[in-house]
Amino acid sequence: MAKTPAGTPHDPRGAERFNEERAAYTISSATPDLETGITAIRDTVKTLQPVPGVYRMLDTRGDVLYVGKARVLKNRVANYAQPKNLSQRLLRMVSQTRRMEIVTTNSEAEALLLEAQLIKRFRPPFNVLLRDDKSFPFILLRSEHNFPRIMKHRGARRAKGNYYGPFASAGSVNTTINALQKLFLLRSCTDSFFSRRDRPCLLYQIKRCSAPCVDRIDKEGYAELVKQAQDFLGGKSSSVQADLEKQMAKAAESLDFETAAILRDRLRAATFIQGSQAINASGVGDADVFALASKGGQIAVQAFFIRGGQNWGHRAFFPSHTKDVEEDQVLADVLAQFYEEVPPPRTILVDRKLPEQELIEEAFAASAEQGGAGHRVEISIPQRGDRRKLMQQAQRNAVEALDRRLAERGTKAKTLREMTEFLELADVPQRIEVYDNSHIQGAKAVGGMIVAGPEGFIKNQYRKFNIKTAQTNDDFGMMREVMHRRFSRAMKDDPDRETSGDKSVWPDLVLIDGGKGQMSAVKDTLEELGIEDVPLIAIAKGPDHGREGREVFHFPDGREKTLPTNSPVLFYLQTLRDEVHRFAIGAHRAKRSRAITASPLDEIPGIGPSRKRALLLHFGTAGKVRAASLQDLQRAPGVSAAVAQTIYDFYHAGG
């Protein structure tokens, strides 16, 4: 959500001094870059209408700096052209702005939803960002089959069926599905596996499936199990348990002890699901709970997910780019981005009043309607009862999560500082690039690059290099090719090294998996490109290639260093080396797998997978297709005369 670029301290006694300091700062900051940014904004304002919409601010490279929404675009954007009303953070943003992009919407609520979508897509450096970009798992009961399947689901909800979630983690959803299988005996196998069965699988033997694939249960009986599962996941767990208890008592009275034992095991599974709730959420219904804690300039947001009075897990978020942003605005931004992907429940409990809360409720209700739920969304601060106790628990968890985070950051910061000293760097690196090659006797050679920063691995910036020009048995040549391609591109994209942060083109440290030879190859390549100030370090195993912990670190000037085997710096550098090794091997294996499944028929223009399959089924091998006459090709199923001529000409051109 956009925040109006304005604001002075709430303390009126300091307001006058604050304005004087702001004015002094504005005057001293009236740089050519700031004036250029203001001019670009004013040019945009001239074209705007007083309508709702979303705006994007872009820098010289076309990267998105900020995404905001407005009820009246013309008024909101015009505020950015008034530097005396802007915070230092927004002044920096305006000074980098070179153009703007505008999208008008039908309402401000629609603009809020679009804003959250664009923030997630572009991840602008001046927006509050929800760092956890993993999709949340759901339980899906599919409906397009006579015997619906229960399964874990991530991503877009395109399949027909009932979705239950979100769950906080894959572990929590897997545990719940396992218990639900014991409770309701629903199948979890794929439709193709189901259709091929002629006898029950192991899940039937261990009483986790009713084996509808081999008619151990009829359609009506299975439908009753599905209904019970829907009731249980929908919050009617007590009635489901009561019904099972009645069935068990009836079976025992009839001396049907086998059935009674099965029902007893199912009741135990229901008790397990409810007993595994670490948080008492009875009486809450469907609700998400959010509490915020701040300390040392860092913010944590704790979330509990409650569905049908059952706790489906909790997770802590640590939003970034929160400096100079009010805490209530941070929480509002986190909610907007979180519910861009996850359907909002009817009730959202928060620990503070949110700015534009009514607008957020309207937008979430519209989002729920688009997702097919169609219900009102209420955001509230619990004042008493079970909901208040739940909020207090969320607040405690938020504080504890932030304390753990700060302790971890402190330890990691110390390790990074010690690494900086050991590797003789000018400052703690914000971007570390690590390189390795992978091949088998030169075949299918691939170079891998991973990227890490102070917060961990930056996986969306990993890159693989298919070796094109180097000799297949020349490890040094492969490394030279990778480095030349990587840094010639950097020279082209950002020769002045103006970009910084996660999107930086230039690394602060380059680590190479190798020894003196790899170091020499990399150093020579960069020198040929005129690059002499990128720190380089090669990591090699000890002289006898023995156990880990004896790594030798090679410097560009020929010096070597080692670390104690119990050094946290060594462990950190080993983690980086192991990650690039894993990534490079994975890229190599994928390339090798594609080569194994490749066929000479792939090279023939106009021959897709279906025709290739038909030709191989008809002739047996690609070699027989090559040797076939034109008449034989024309007799193949699915091959027209024109296609047959194309295949024949491909193999007999010039013949």
| CATH number of 356's domain | 3.30.420
- Domain membership of residue 390 (yes or no) is yes
CA proximity to 301, closest of 340, 326, 327: 327
**Placement of tokens 């872009």 in the chain:** 58
For residue 28, what pLDDT is reported?
Answer: 42
- Domain membership of residue 410 (yes or no) is no
| CATH number of 492's domain | 3.30.420.340
Residues 489 and 578 in one domain: yes
Residues 217 and 244 in one domain: yes
Q: How many CB atoms lie within 10 A of CB 620?
A: 10
Residues 447 and 581 in one domain: yes
| Eight-state DSSP code of residue 149 | P
Question: What's the first-to-final CA gap in the chain, in angstroms?
Answer: 68
- Domain membership of residue 422 (yes or no) is no
For residue 75, what pLDDT is reported?
Answer: 93
For residue 16, what pLDDT is reported?
Answer: 40
Sheet holding 310-317: strands in order across? 310-317, 298-307, 287-295, 347-350, 378-380
For residue 25, what pLDDT is reported?
Answer: 40
Residues 155 and 234 in one domain: yes
Residues 291 and 372 in one domain: yes
Residues 480 and 532 in one domain: yes
| CATH number of 58's domain | 3.40.1440.10
- Domain membership of residue 418 (yes or no) is no
536-540 and 509-513 strand pairing: parallel
Residues 70 and 160 in one domain: no
For residue 9, what pLDDT is reported?
Answer: 39
Residues 118 and 188 in one domain: no
Q: Which of 358, 389, 404 is the last residue of a domain?
A: 404
Range of the domain at 325: 287-404
Q: Which of 214, 241, 275 is the last residue of a domain?
A: 275
For residue 552, what pLDDT is reported?
Answer: 92
Number of alpha helices (DSSP H) and beta strands (DSSP E) in the chain: 21, 19
Q: What pLDDT digit, counting tens, does each position of 164-199 carry?
A: 878 877 767 877 787 788 788 888 888 888 888 888
From residue 240, alpha-carbon distances to 125, 471, 637 in Å are 50, 68, 56
Residues 480 and 467 in one domain: yes
Within 13 Å and on the Cβ side, how many CA atoms surround 127?
30
For residue 18, what pLDDT is reported?
Answer: 39
- Domain membership of residue 4 (yes or no) is no
- Domain membership of residue 497 (yes or no) is yes
For residue 434, what pLDDT is reported?
Answer: 94
Residues 400 and 483 in one domain: no
Is residue 352 helix, strand or coil? coil
Please state the φ and ψ torsions of residue 536, each to the nearest 5 degrees: -120, 135
For residue 272, what pLDDT is reported?
Answer: 61
Residues 189 and 171 in one domain: yes
CA proximity to 607, closest of 646, 569, 549, 568: 646
| CATH number of 645's domain | 1.10.150.20
Residue stretches of the chain with pLDDT short of 50? 1-29, 276-278, 441-442, 545-546, 595-597
- Domain membership of residue 622 (yes or no) is yes
Q: Which residues pair with 68 in a beta bridge?
A: 55
Q: Which amino acid is at 279?
A: I
Model confidence, pTM: 0.63
Q: Which of 404, 423, 448 is the last residue of a domain?
A: 404
Please state the φ and ψ torsions of residue 497, each to the nearest 5 degrees: 55, 50
- The structural domain count of the chain equals 5
Contact 55, 80 (CB under 8 A): no
Contact 372, 160 (CB under 8 A): no
E-strand stretches of 343-461: 347-350, 378-380, 432-440, 443-453, 456-457
Would you call 21 exposed, middle or buried from its count of C-beta atoms within 10 A (0-12, 13-18, 19+)?
exposed
- Domain membership of residue 111 (yes or no) is yes
Instruction: Please give the Cα distance from 377 to 365 (Å, whole number).
Output: 5
Q: What angle do CA 637, 193, 258 make, to 5 degrees?
A: 155
For residue 14, what pLDDT is reported?
Answer: 44
Q: Can you list the pairs that 400-405 forms with residues at least 24 positions away whose Cβ atoms lie under 8 Å?
A: 401/293, 401/300, 401/302, 401/316, 402/293, 402/294, 402/295, 402/298, 402/299, 402/300, 402/316, 402/318, 403/295, 405/298, 405/300, 405/316, 405/318
Q: How many CB atoms lie within 10 A of CB 177?
A: 20
Residues 174 and 306 in one domain: no
CA proximity to 567, closest of 553, 546, 586: 553
